[in-house]
Amino acid sequence: MSDVTVGTELPSIEQKSTLSTSVAYAGASGDHNPLHFDESFASQVSPTGGIIAHGMFSMGLASKVLTGFAGGPENVEMVDVRFTKPWPLNTTSTFGGTVTEVADGVATVELWGKNENGDQILKGTGQVRV
């Protein structure tokens, strides 16, 4: 990856948040908060009025973008993200990143996740060996 420069765009991925992805993520993570799969409960407590995807599911997708760019998890030095807006069920979000710095064999990447309306649902930083 010696050709990585500031401004390099990482290939983005799209993912739809569905009841199936929420239930599968709950099972894999052990996070069984009903906000992520129970419509009746979510309608009472969710900031969107309905089910929302796990924040860590969106972090996993941003990490997948970074890991793919890095050539594998062994080249990822750090991932740090913040959830900026809930991701409602049955909407599609896109995850990607841009290289913002390259120094001493490490590329710093600005990570992002955006919903269908272009609103940012996740932002963060990753670092990979190049």
Q: What tens digit of pLDDT does each residue of 19-37 get?
A: 999 999 999 999 999 999 9
List, for residues 84-122, the tens digit of each pLDDT value: 999 999 999 999 999 999 999 999 999 999 999 999 999
Query: How many Cβ atoms sit within 10 Å of the Cβ of residue 126?
Result: 25
**9-17+53-129: CATH number:** 3.10.129.10
106-114, strands of its sheet edge to edge: 9-16, 92-103, 106-114, 120-129, 76-83
Which tokens go with 43?
Answer: 């309608």
